C-alpha cells in the first residue's frame, strides 16, 4: 500500500455551537485525485484550511507529507499548492508580476522564476497575456493562473477548492483536463466541489460530506454500488436487430451494445427513454421492454441525502 | 507550541512588493504632489521673509521650516496634518484590502507566517514615508541654498534629521492605527473613516476636551493657591499629551528651536542661571524631546502589537 500523503485523525472544527467538521478521518495516497463532495456549508473548505494549517482544528490532527501543519506550516506550505474557491490576484499587476511575487515568497530566485513562469504560462495557455494586468482576466484565466502558480512552486500536493465554479462548461471541461494533467505529473490532488459530474470525471475517489461528517467514501463505483445498488443504463427490447445506428443517434446516448435477440444496452448521459421509445416505434419496432438504471454521482448524492433527510 | 522557521521568512518579499505598490500608487502620487506644493510654497515664503536675517541667525535652515508668512502657515504646521494623512493613506486598506481582493488566503498559503505579512506591510509603509520625507528634506535644503545662498551647517542638518525621525514616528502612529482598523473592519472605507475620525478628534476636539476636563478639575480643587494651580496645569498638560499631535508638536518644538529649554510650564526657579537667548546643544534638545519622542514610538509599538494580535487570530476566510 502506498504511503499516505494527507492523513487526518479525528479532525474536528467547531465554531461555537456549530461543528463545521466532525471527527474526520481522511487518507490520501500519493498520486490520487480525491474529491470532497458535499452541499454548501458541509465543511469542505474548513477541512482544506485545516489541512493547510490556515485554521486551527478544535481537536484531532492532520499530517501532510509527514508534517504537522500547525508545527511545521512552512514545510507544508512549501509542498502544497492551494487554489482558493474564489482565487484573487493583484489586479493592477500583470500575471508575470503576480507570479514573480509568489516565486519570491517561495524563495525561488529571479532567473529560475522567470524560466518557470514562461514554462507554466505556456502550459496554461496564458503565454500571450502574461504581461497584461490580471484585472483584465476572465474568471477562467484567473483559475488557470492559479493553477500555473501551483505548478510554478512545484507543489507535490494540489488543493483545489471548487475549481470549476463559475466557469462556463467549456472552460470547466478544459480546466478538468488540466487537473488530470496534474495527476499525470504525479501530483496528488484534493479537490472540493458540489458539481458532481465533474468530480466524477476526474476523481479516483470521493468523500461525501454532510454536516461536517464524511458519510461515504470510496471509488465512484463503490459508492454507486452502496447507495443505488449499481451513468444511466437503459435496457431496450425491440425484437428487431440492426437498430444500433438509430439508437446511437438519440441525443444523450453515448454507447449502444447489442445484446442478442433484439435487445440493446444503452449507456446514456441522461434519461432519454421517451425519445428511445419514440424512435423505436417510429421505425416500426415493437417495444417490449424499456428499463432503466440511473447511475451517476448526482444520483448517488441525491439519493443519499434524500435518505438521510428521511431518517432525520 | 513552538513553530519551525523564522517568523520573518518572506518578509523582504512582502516589503519589496508593498513598497513598489506604494511608490506607484495613485494615492501616494496625489499626496506626494500635495506635499511638494506645500513644501515649495511654505519654504519659499519663509525664505522671502528670512532673507534679511541671513548671517545673523545660526539656525536659519530650521527657521525655513518653522517660519510662517501670512497667509501661509509654516512648513511644520502643514506637515502636522499632511503626515497623518500620508500614514493613513498608506495603511488603511493594508489587511482588509487583501481580503477584498481575495488574495489573502493565497498569500497565506505561501510558505510565510502572518508575521511577515503584517510586518512587511508596515515596514514598506515606513520606508515609503521615509523616502518621501528624505526627498522633501533634500528639496527644502536645495530651495534654501538657492533662496538664501548659504550652505546648511552640520548642526542644522543634525536637527533636521532628528526632525525627520520624529515625523516618521508621528506618521507611524497614524499608520499603525490605520493598520489596526484595517484588521478590525472589513471595508477599507470604514477603516479609512475610522482612522480619520480619530485623527480629527485629536486634531480638533482633544484640546476642547482637555479644557473641559481641567475646568471640571478646577471646580473640584477650588481652594486656590499656586500649588493647586500648578497641579491643574500639570493635569492639563498630561491630558493634552495623550494626543500624538501634542507629542509631535512638542518634539518638533524642541528639535527645531534650539532656544527652547523647557516644554510645559516653567517655574522661575527652574530658569535660574539660564541666560536668555542662549541656544541648547543638540543633545540637550534631544534630552528635552526624549519623553515625547519615545512616547510616540511606544504608541506605534502598542498599536502595531494590538493589530498583530488581532490579525494572528483572524479567520483566513473573508
Ligand atoms: N468563521 C466562521 N465562524 C462561524 N462559522 C463558520 C465560520 N467559517 C465557516 N463557518 C461555518 O462552518 C460551516 C462549514 O463551512 P465551509 O465553508 O467549510 O463549508 P463548505 O462545504 O466549504 O461550503 P461551500 O460549498 O458553501 O463552500 C458552515 O456552516 C459555515 O457557516
Ligand atoms: Mg467552501
Q: How far apart are CA A180 and CA A204, in angstroms?
A: 11
| Domain-embedded: residue B318 | no
Task: Count CB neighbours of B198 within 10 A.
Answer: 17
Query: Is pLDDT of A1 > 60?
Result: no
For A54, the closest of B2, B4, B105 (CB atoms) is B105
User: Taking a C-beta distance cutoff of 8 angstroms, is the pair B15, B117 a contact?
Assistant: no
Nearest atom (ligand 1) to Cα of A42: 21
DSSP H helices in A128-272 = 139-152, 169-184, 196-202, 220-228, 244-248
pLDDT for res A63: 95
Residue with the smallest CA separation from ligand 1 atom 22 is A45
Instruction: Give the distance from CA A29 to its chain's centroid.
Output: 16
C-alpha B15 to ligand 2 mean position (Å): 31
B2, part of any domain: no
**Whether B93 contacts B188, CB under 8 Å:** yes
> Is residue B138 packed enough to be buried (19+ CB in 10 Å), middle (13-18) or exposed (0-12)?
exposed
Residue B41 lies in a domain: yes
The Cα–Cα gap between B146 and B83 comes to: 26
Counting DSSP H helices and E strands in chain A, the numbers are 11, 13
pLDDT at residue A230, rounded to an integer? 46
| Residue A196 near residue A224, CB atoms below 8 Å | no
| Structural domain includes residue B1 | no
Q: Do A156 and A80 touch, CB atoms closer than 8 A?
A: yes
**Cα(B22)–Cα(B120) distance, rounded to whole angstroms?**
13
Whether A231 and A268 have beta carbons less than 8 Å apart is answered as: yes
| Each residue's pLDDT expressed in tens, for chain B with a length of 318 residues | 567 788 889 999 999 999 999 999 999 999 999 999 998 998 888 888 887 777 677 788 888 888 887 788 888 888 888 999 999 999 999 999 999 999 999 999 999 999 999 999 999 999 999 999 999 989 989 988 888 888 888 888 889 999 999 999 999 999 999 999 999 999 999 999 999 999 999 998 998 998 888 888 777 766 656 667 777 788 888 888 889 998 998 898 888 888 777 776 655 555 555 555 677 788 888 888 899 999 999 999 999 999 999 999 998 886
B3 within some domain: no
Query: How far is Cα of residue A54 from the mean position of the Cα atoms in its chain?
Result: 22
Task: Quick: pLDDT tens for A154-198.
Answer: 999 999 999 988 888 889 999 999 999 999 999 999 999 887 778
Residue B315 forms contact with A (CB below 8 Å): yes
Number of domains forming the structure of chain B: 1
Is B32 contained in some domain? Answer: yes
Interchain contact B112–A (C-beta under 8 A): yes
Residue range(s) defining the domain that contains residue B48 = 11-313
Say yes or no to pLDDT of A225 above 70.
no
Q: What are phi and psi of B40, to 5 degrees?
A: -60, -45
Q: Where does residue A123 rank: exposed (0-12), middle (13-18), buried (19+ CB within 10 A)?
A: middle
Domains identified in chain A and CATH numbers: 4-225 (3.40.50.300), 232-294 (3.30.70.100)
Q: Is the pLDDT of residue A73 over 90?
A: yes
Contact B81, B249 (CB under 8 A): no
On the 0-12 / 13-18 / 19+ scale of CB atoms within 10 A, B164 is middle
The set of protein residues with a Cβ atom below 6 angstroms from ligand 1 is: A 15, 18, 20, 38, 40-46, 85, 194; B 315, 317
A229 band by pLDDT with thresholds 50, 70 and 90:
very low
Strand order in the sheet with A263-268: A253-258, A263-268, A232-237, A289-293
Contacting residues of B for A72, CB less than 8 Å apart? 4
The confidence score (pLDDT) of residue A137 equals 95
In a domain, B229, yes or no: yes
Which is nearest to B130 in space by CA: B90, B72, B74, B94?
Answer: B90
DSSP annotation of A265 reads E
Show Cβ contacts of residue B59 under 8 Å, excluding neighbours closer than 6 positions: B155, B156, B159, B258, B279
Instruction: For residue A172, give the nearest of A151, A193, A150 by alpha carbon.
Output: A193
Interface confidence, given as ipTM, is 0.88
Gap between the Cα atoms of B75 and B46, Å rounded = 9
H or E element: which one contains B5? Answer: none
Instruction: Please count the residue pairs, one from chain A and one from chain B, whose beta carbons lie less than 8 angstroms apart.
Output: 80
Rounded Cα–Cα distance for residues B281 and B159 (Å)? 10
Give CA–CA dist B162/B152, Å, rounded.
15
User: Per-residue pLDDT tens for B164-218?
Assistant: 999 999 999 999 999 999 999 999 999 999 999 999 999 989 989 988 888 887 7
Q: Is residue B106 part of a domain?
A: yes
Residue B242: C-alpha distances to residues A157, B195, B233, B245, B248 (Å): 52, 16, 14, 9, 11
ω before B71 within 30° of 0 (cis)?
A: yes
Amino acid at each position: 500500500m502506498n504511503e499516505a500523503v494527507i492523513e487526518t485523525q479525528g479532525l474536528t472544527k467547531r465554531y461555537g455551537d456549530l461543528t463545521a467538521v466532525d471527527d474526520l478521518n481522511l487518507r490520501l495516497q500519493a498520486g490520487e485525485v480525491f474529491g470532497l463532495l458535499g452541499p454548501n456549508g458541509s465543511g469542505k473548505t474548513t477541512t482544506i484550511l485545516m489541512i493547510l494549517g490556515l485554521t486551527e482544528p478544535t481537536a484531532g490532527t492532520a499530517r501532510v507529507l509527514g508534517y504537522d501543519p500547525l508545527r511545521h506550516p512552512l514545510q507544508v506550505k512549501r509542498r502544497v499548492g492551494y487554489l482558493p474557491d474564489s482565487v484573487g490576484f493583484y489586479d493592477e499587476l500583470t500575471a508575470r508580476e503576480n507570479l514573480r511575487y509568489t516565486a519570491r515568497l517561495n524563495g525561488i530566485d529571479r532567473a529560475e522564476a522567470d524560466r518557470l513562469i514562461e514554462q507554466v504560462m505556456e502550459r496554461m495557455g496564458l503565454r500571450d497575456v502574461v504581461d497584461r494586468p490580471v484585472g483584465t482576466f476572465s474568471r477562467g484565466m484567473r483559475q488557470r493562473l492559479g493553477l500555473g502558480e501551483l505548478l510554478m512552486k512545484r507543489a507535490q500536493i494540489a488543493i483545489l477548492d471548487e475549481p470549476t465554479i463559475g466557469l462556463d462548461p467549456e472552460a470547466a471541461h478544459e480546466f478538468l483536463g488540466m487537473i488530470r494533467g496534474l495527476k499525470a505529473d504525479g501530483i496528488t490532488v484534493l479537490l472540493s466541489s458540489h458539481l458532481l459530474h465533474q468530480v466524477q470525471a476526474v476523481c479516483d475517489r470521493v468523500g461525501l460530506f454532510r454536516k461536517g461528517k464524511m458519510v461515504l467514501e470510496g471509488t465512484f463505483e463503490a459508492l454507486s454500488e452502496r447507495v443505488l445498488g449499481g451513468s444511466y443504463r437503459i435496457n431496450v427490447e425491440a425484437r428487431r436487430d440492426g437498430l444500433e445506428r438509430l439508437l446511437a443517434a438519440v441525443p444523450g446516448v453515448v454507447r449502444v451494445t447489442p445484446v442478442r435477440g433484439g435487445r440493446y444496452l444503452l449507456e446514456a448521459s441522461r434519461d432519454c427513454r421517451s425519445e428511445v421509445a419514440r424512435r423505436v416505434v417510429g421505425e416500426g419496432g415493437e417495444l417490449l421492454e424499456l428499463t432503466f438504471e440511473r447511475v451517476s454521482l448526482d444520483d448517488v448524492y441525491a439519493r443519499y441525502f434524500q435518505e438521510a433527510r428521511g431518517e432525520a | 507550541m513552538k513553530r519551525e522557521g523564522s517568523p520573518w521568512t518572506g518578509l523582504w518579499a512582502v516589503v519589496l512588493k508593498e513598497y513598489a505598490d506604494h511608490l506607484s500608487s495613485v494615492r501616494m502620487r496625489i499626496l506626494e504632489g500635495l506635499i511638494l506644493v506645500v513644501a515649495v510654497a511654505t519654504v519659499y515664503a519663509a525664505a522671502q521673509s528670512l532673507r534679511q536675517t541671513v548671517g545673523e541667525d545660526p539656525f536659519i535652515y530650521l527657521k525655513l521650516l518653522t517660519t510662517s508668512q501670512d497667509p501661509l502657515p509654516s512648513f511644520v504646521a502643514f506637515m502636522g496634518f499632511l503626515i497623518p494623512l500620508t500614514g493613513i493613506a498608506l495603511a488603511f486598506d493594508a489587511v482588509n484590502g487583501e481580503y477584498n481582493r481575495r488574495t489573502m488566503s493565497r498569500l497565506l498559503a505561501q510558505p510565510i507566517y502572518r508575521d511577515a505579512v503584517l510586518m512587511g506591510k508596515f515596514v514598506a509603509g515606513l520606508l515609503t514615508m521615509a523616502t518621501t520625507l528624505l526627498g522633501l528634506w533634500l528639496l527644502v535644503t536645495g530651495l534654501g541654498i538657492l533662496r538664501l545662498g548659504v550652505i546648511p551647517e552640520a548642526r542644522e542638518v543634525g536637527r533636521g534629521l532628528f526632525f525627520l525621525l520624529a515625523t516618521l514616528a508621528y506618521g507611524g502612529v497614524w499608520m499603525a492605527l490605520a493598520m489596526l482598523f484595517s484588521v478590525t473592519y472589513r471595508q477599507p472605507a470604514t477603516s479609512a473613516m475610522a482612522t480619520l475620525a480619530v485623527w480629527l478628534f485629536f486634531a480638533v476636539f482633544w484640546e476642547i476636551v482637555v479644557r473641559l476636563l481641567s475646568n471640571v478639575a478646577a471646580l473640584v480643587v477650588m481652594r486656590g493657591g499656586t500649588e493647586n494651580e500648578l497641579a491643574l496645569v500639570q493635569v492639563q498638560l498630561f491630558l493634552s499629551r495623550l494626543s500624538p499631535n501634542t507629542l509631535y508638536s512638542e518634539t518638533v518644538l524642541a528639535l527645531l528651536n534650539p532656544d527652547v529649554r523647557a516644554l510645559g510650564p516653567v517655574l522661575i526657579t527652574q530658569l535660574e542661571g539660564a541666560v536668555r537667548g542662549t541656544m541648547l546643544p543638540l543633545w540637550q534638545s534631544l534630552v528635552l524631546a526624549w519623553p515625547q519622542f519615545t512616547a510616540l514610538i511606544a504608541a506605534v509599538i502598542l498599536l502595531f502589537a494590538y493589530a498583530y494580535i488581532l490579525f494572528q487570530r483572524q479567520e483566513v476566510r473573508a
